[in-house]
A and B are shown apart, each in its own frame.
Chain A
Amino acid sequence: MSFVTSGFQALKWSLYQIARPGKFVLASSLFHNINGLFEAVTGKPAPGAGVQTVAGHNHSLQGGFPVFRSYVGGFDTGESIGYTLTGVSAVATPVPLCDKSPAFRAYVNPAVTDLLAGPPTLECKAYVILTNAGGTSSDFKFTLRNIDNGTNSTTTTETVPSGTTVSKWIDISGVDVGKGGWVGYDLLGGFTGTNGTIIVTACILAETQATVTTSTGVKYDSATATTRP
């Protein structure tokens, strides 16, 4: 199947002539653009219309700005243990906390790889209970791995003093999205000291405003914009 392309057209400045009647092509173009915008955004015919002339579709080749979707996947087991890792020896290099891979899948907007300035990353909030029963301070490390391409997120480190338990929400940033769509993730954890225990009870993965890159356009300023000499 070939790509379905947009009906949008770049409006031509040469069509405007100050103090002259507007040309029909302008109105036609405007209507098409407005109708296309409405139907592209809502995926529905206009209120009262019996048909939809422009179906919601992918602009693929030309690309577009993805509407970030907030929560895309994860888990919350509340009181119960979600994932756990216990070790007498240090686990200096984080290992998958779930014995199944991927631990979970999340659906990421497929348009994320088609931005003006490269693919974004997701943000994750995880609730962890970290116990350090060793004799020295221990660094507990966490990362989320995109198992489809093996790319790790930024590593988050929590330092836990000897003989203490820390329970808290942690942030994991820089979560890779690959090509978008259904993406498999493993949550990895480890600790640099001995006699450590990790329990994870929640992991919330989200597309956020930070997942989209800043436009490179020039900001429109209505206060200074002029249309006549």
Chain B
Amino acid sequence: MTVGQQWLDSEVLFRVTSQVNALYELILDKPAPGATSQGIQGHDHTSTQGGRTVARGTLYSAGAGKQQLFKFEGPGSGVWGNADNANTTARQRSVTFKAYCSGTSTGSSSPYTTPVAWCSLRFQFETHGTARVISVRLQNSTLTKTSDVVTFNIPGSTGIISSSPPLLLTEVPITAGWNDFVLELMSDHDSPIVYTTHVALLEAADEDGCYESSTGVSPLGGL
């Protein structure tokens, strides 16, 4: 249908036009202005070339300023526990928070890779003599998968109230629809008390973002 230095076959243009119309109606789910009907319903293209999703930005955010949001008391050295396990009993949650994700995860290989989200975190603690390393992870209990792990240090001084540096989880498993998340902490030594003061979960389909780039060979569905 296509030969160098020759006219394009009309069928090529027909197919390209159909794809453009499909894109228009896929994205907007509306007939083109002036048209009285919509020929192609918004639908999924993942079985062939796939593509990136439109990131929605913030999926969840909570912050307590200098106050505590969730109170954690380590259940023992090297043992993971819910970040709110020392809250007032009735305010302890088996699910720390819920977030709605727009990304789809159809398929198991590139270019439609399973999406991940980012999670920004900050914690507050009081030092009690012994230095400790606190590990942080986010469990997606909808998928029964856990994120990567980041750590911060509690120094070995005494009576100093301080904050962790800003922390970022970059591989939080997530799936389309509502997701249940459980924020978990672990100490490498005894049972320190740690307060979560800030949590934000983000979709960010940026260069290094939550959704991996498509590896399809043709940017707009080759013929």
A-side contacts of B157, CB under 8 Å:
none
User: How far apart sit A22 and B9, CA to CA, in the bound complex (Å)?
Assistant: 7
Contact indicator per residue, chain A 21-52, by CB within 8 Å of chain B (1) or not (0): 11000110110011001001100000000000
Encode contact with B along A54-80: 1 for CB under 8 Å, 0 otherwise.
Answer: 000001001111011111000111111
Q: Assess whether B30 is interfacial by the CB under 8 Å rule.
A: yes
Query: Per-position contact with A for B210-222: 1 when CB-CB < 8 Å, else 0?
Result: 0000000000100
Are B22 and A220 interface neighbours, CB within 8 A?
yes
Q: Are A65 and B30 in contact (CB under 8 A)?
A: yes
A201 to B69, CA, bound (A): 10
> Among A67, A123, A169, A202, which residue has its beta carbon within 8 angstroms of that of B100?
A123
Can you name 9 A-B pairs with beta carbons within 8 Å?
A18-B10, A33-B24, A65-B28, A68-B102, A76-B97, A78-B70, A79-B87, A131-B90, A220-B43
Q: Judging by beta carbons under 8 Å apart, are A77 and B56 in contact?
A: no
Quick check: B91 and A65 within 8 Å, CB to CB?
no
B25, B61, B88, B100: which contacts A217 (Cβ < 8 A)? B25
Q: Which residues in window 8-53 of B have CB below 8 A to A?
A: 8-17, 20-25, 27-35, 37-43
B159 interface residue per 8 A CB criterion: no
In angstroms, Cα B40 to Cα A77, docked, is: 45
Query: Taking the complex as formed, is B79 at the interface, i.e. its CB lies under 8 A from any CB of chain A?
Result: no
Q: In the assembly, what is the distance between CA of A131 and CA of B30, in Å?
A: 48
A interface vs B, CB < 8 Å?
5-6, 8-11, 16-22, 26-27, 29-30, 33-34, 37, 40-41, 59, 62-65, 67-71, 75-80, 116, 123, 125, 127, 129, 131, 165, 167, 169, 199, 201-202, 204, 206, 208-209, 212, 215-220, 227-228
Enumerate B61-99 residues with CB–CB distance to A below 8 Å. 61-62, 64, 67-71, 84, 87-88, 90-93, 95, 97-99
Q: Is the CB of A6 within 8 A of B33?
A: yes
Going nearest first, the 9 A-B pairs with the smallest beta carbon separation are A65-B29, A76-B62, A78-B69, A217-B38, A217-B41, A21-B7, A22-B13, A70-B56, A220-B40
Report Cα–Cα, A9/B14, bound state, in Å. 15
Chain A: minimal CB distance from B203 (Å): 7
Assess whether B165 is interfacial by the CB under 8 Å rule.
no
Point out the residue from A62, A75, A220 that lies within 8 Å of B30, measured CB to CB: A62
* CB-CB under 8 A for A218 and B41, given A30-B20, A34-B220, A227-B14: yes
> Given A9-B32, A27-B13, A64-B28, does the pair A209, B220 have CB atoms closer than 8 Å?
no
* Residue ID in chain B nearest A40 by CB atoms: B27
Do A125 and B90 form a contact, CB below 8 Å, given A17-B10, A78-B64, A220-B39? no
Please report the C-alpha to C-alpha distance between residue A17 and residue B102 in the assembled complex, in whole angstroms.
41
Question: CA separation between A9 and B177, bound complex, in Å?
Answer: 34
